Structure 1
Amino acid sequence: MTDSTRSSWSPALVEATRSFAPRTGYLAACTMGLPMLATLEAQRLDLESWRTGGTSPIEYGAVVEEARVAYAALVAVPASRVAIGSQTSAMVAVVAAAVPDGAEVLCVDGDFSSMVFPFLQQRHRGVRVRSVPLAELASSVSAATWLVAWSAIQSATGAVADDRAIVAAAGRHGALTLCDTTQAAGVLPIDAGRYDLTVCHGYKWLCSPRGAAFLTVSESAAPRLRPVQAGWYAGESVWGSCYGPTMELASDARAFDVSPAWPAWVGALPALRALASLDTAEVWRRASGLGDLLCDRLDLPRQGQAIVTWVDPGADLVSLAAAGLTASGRAGRVRIAFHLWNDEEDVEAVVRALRA
């Protein structure tokens, strides 16, 4: 990484790097992100307000809508195309329920289970799930493919999908696209409008509490789905939808909303606003630049990724933990993930730990 000093980055990015607790030795954004100081303060105030009876569902609802708008700006779609949820697998399950009997869903070998298991649960209807290596995903789309489902960045390896080729192949064959951006949004530029559907949980790179997640639904894809999880929060009028039997769902993506876990959204809002204000391309250059710097220092081929991985029988992960560094291991690999709170000192700390 050539521009490795703080002075090389925009003032907004530098300020964002100061929004976290300093020198944590935390290198696992791909497992769970760290909270911004503003998130901690917002949640502290919310807990105090709850303690004294000062909270209300209506005020929480306003927070959720602000978070929806901030996330929409981050992924470059109108807020009307964003639904809120709590878990990616539950949102993928809505898509899985819409797959026609006997249709094919094309997935990636080794992708995160939330992008695979919901479709496997539809096999009783004849739904066929075919998995191929990530590099072969675009070339494997066929006329029989109803949906292509993949993660923008692979959880186990940090590999970045060739989204342009995948989307183009799906378009040629009339297949829907579902992209999981959980390992990408907040660190890699995402234009959710390029896909029919995206899912994203905020507790990793979006630095939000667990329980704040998103589904984006294009106008063309919405009529092909059924909001099978619809509840009061999916109503055109939320507060007019508390009781049956009459049901009038929202006319936009809110029809796919689920009732929010309120405290999670209080913490998510400051982080989403901060991340939406940044140049995500710059965030990616910084994070992937730290990854390449680590590869250089460890004599590994550059990976061009924010998540650097290598095969490890277990000794390297133990060495990192012994040095007080928090990394993660998946599928027999060490994962070192760089985000806003990391810098070159973290790279050197990894090198020292492994060479010790």
Structure 2
Amino acid sequence: MREAFGATFIGPEGYLNTASYGLPPTATVDALERVHRRWAAGTAVGSDFDADIATGRAAFADLAGVPVSSVTMGASVAALLGPVASALPDGARVLVPEGEFTSVSFPFAAHHGRDVTVTEAPLHRLPEAASEYDVVAVSTVQSADGARVDLTALRSATEGSDTIVLLDATQQLGWLQLDLGWADVVVSSSYKWLLGPTGIAWGAYSDHLVDRLVPHHANRYAGGAPWDTTYGLPLRLTDDARRFDISPAWFPVVGAAASLAWISTLDIAEVTAHCRGLADRARTALGLPPGDSAIVSIPTEHAAARLQEAGVRASVRQGAARIAFALYNTEDDLDRVVRALNA
């Protein structure tokens, strides 16, 4: 058991794999246990989850810096990007970074039959090339190595153009506050730095884009009042981004809302300082180049095996060991890494 920022966590010592999935606060675990008990007792009803959906939506809007009316609830990043990809005209050109997480690139690449092309470029070259494309799609913090796109340059390069800017903030939200409200699309899963379960993701579509999208998964929740839009025609959808809502996964949305509500109360600048401070000290101790991310890529030979032997939970991406410092990590976790790799 450990404490961080006023919450307690059950997670083990040496857990540095938040870039794969985050550990929930005990309050989130308790909320999930309560709803599972209601399920087992047969006392849970669908309307019980409406408040969790509203809480999660508002907290995501706050963390992403977008209007709550622009926020929709999905099951995954890829599913939230599907309507955007489907709305592109035949022959559209999409730009992504080299090695981008495929939940960002595949929804567009799947439309190759309509001559939609997806071009990869080095991350640092995205801003200078973006205005030449119909869409630029990029993770604000790269999953594989934690590299960050220059959002200021990207915004400057695309402002006033017809280029759709799509930002996946999955590896950012929860530890780093950035201005994302200017983008056309902002998406994020809940199960990494937002410390929720899998099965819930959030997206925001800008006003000028939302009317171009078709709610392919229209359902009773897309009507905004699901208990009034359960049966029969005509089609009745909300005027805002809720018309793209999926029918929620009940239990994951409880966990997602509990963690999001707590994170949204934190001073994210303090969280950033904590996470980056540990990451910076790890880079210095391991002789790695400086960085500006909570994710550290370690290309040292046999690093992943040595970390595992030392009880460090990490992952391997693009041939390098990847560690990620979250708000619940400590100096002891850092020391464990340094001892393992400097022995």
- Is 1:193 the counterpart of 2:181? The answer is yes
CA contact (8 A) 2:52 2:254 kept: yes
Structure 1 position 351, deviation (Å): 0.9
CA distance in 1, matches of 2:145, 2:152: 20
* Offset, 1:77: 2.2
The 8 Å contact of residues 19 and 295 in structure 2, kept in 1 or not, is answered as yes
CA deviations on 1:266-299 (whole Å, 9 max, x unpaired) are: 1122211111011212211211111110111112
Give 1:23 shift: 4.8
SS at match of 1:336: strand
Distance 1:50 1:353 in 2: 44
User: How does the TM-score come out when normalised to structure 1?
Assistant: 0.92
- The residue number in structure 2 matching 1:355 is 342
1:116 partner SS? helix
Question: Counterpart in 2 of 1:339?
Answer: 326
The alpha-carbon distance between structure 1 residues 63 and 226, as it changes in their structure 2 partners (threshold 3 A), is same
Deviations 1:100-152 (A, max 9, x none): 11111111110000000110111111112111110000111234x21110000
The residue that corresponds to 1:325 in the other structure is 312
Contact 2:222 2:246 in 1 (8 A): yes
Partner residue of 1:35?
24
Question: 2:4, 2:328 within 8 Å by CA — same for their partners in 1?
Answer: no
Q: Which residue of 1 aligns with 2:254?
A: 266
Question: Percent of aligned pairs with the same residue?
Answer: 39
Write the distance in 1 (CA, Å) between the matches of 2:59 and 2:146: 26
Describe the shift of the 1:305–1:236 C-alpha distance in structure 2 as closer, same or farther (beyond 3 A).
closer
1:85–1:257: 8 Å Cα contact kept in structure 2?
A: yes
Change (3 A) 1:265 1:236: closer
User: 1:287·1:340 contact (CA, 8 Å) conserved in 2?
Assistant: yes
Structure 2, gaps ≥5 residues long: none
Which residue is 1:9 aligned to?
none
Alignment of 1:209-288 (within 5 A): 209-288=197-276
Q: Counterpart amino acid of 2:320?
A: R
CA-CA distance at 1:22 after TM superposition:
5.8
Matched residue type, 1:80 = S
**What is aligned with 1:71?**
60
* Structure 1 segment 172-187 matched on structure 2, within 5 A: 172-187=160-175
Matching residue's letter, 2:341: L
2 CA distance for matches of 1:50 and 1:142? 51
TM-score scaled by structure 2? 0.95
AA of the residue aligned to 2:326: H
Tell me by how many angstroms 1:182 deviates.
0.4
Q: Does the 8 Å contact 1:107/1:116 carry over to 2?
A: yes
Number of equivalenced pairs: 341
CA contact (8 A) 2:97 2:126 kept: yes
User: Could you tell me how far apart the structure 1 residues matched to 2:214 and 2:58 are?
Assistant: 23
Shift, 1:48, TM fit: 1.0
How big is the shift at 1:311?
Answer: 1.8
Q: CA deviation at 1:173?
A: 2.8
Name the amino acid aligned to 1:170.
T
- Cα gap change, 1:58/1:272 in structure 2, threshold over 3 Å: closer, same or farther? same
Q: Which residue of 2 aligns with 1:4?
A: none
Residue in 1 aligned with 2:37? 48
1:190 is displaced (CA, Å) by: 3.4
2:6 and 2:332 map into 1 onto residues whose CA distance is 13
1:214 to 1:125, Cα distance in 2 relative to 1, 3 A:
same
- CA shift digits 1:80-111 (9 cap, x unpaired): 11100111111111111011111111111100
Cross-structure match for 2:112: 123
For the residues of structure 2 that align with 1:142 and 1:77, how far apart are their CA atoms?
A: 23
**3-state DSSP class of the match of 1:238?**
coil
SS at match of 1:224: coil
- What is the CA–CA distance in structure 1 between the aligned matches of 2:288 and 2:5, rounded to whole Å? 29
Aligned-residue CA RMSD (Å): 1.5
How far has the Cα of 1:240 moved from its partner?
2.4
Post-superposition, which runs of at least 4 consecutive aligned residues in structure 1 deviate over 6 A? none
| Runs of at least 5 residues in structure 1 that lack an aligned partner in the other structure | 1-13
- Residues 286, 342 of structure 2: 8 Å contact kept: no
What residue number does 1:8 align with? none
SS for the counterpart of 1:221 is helix
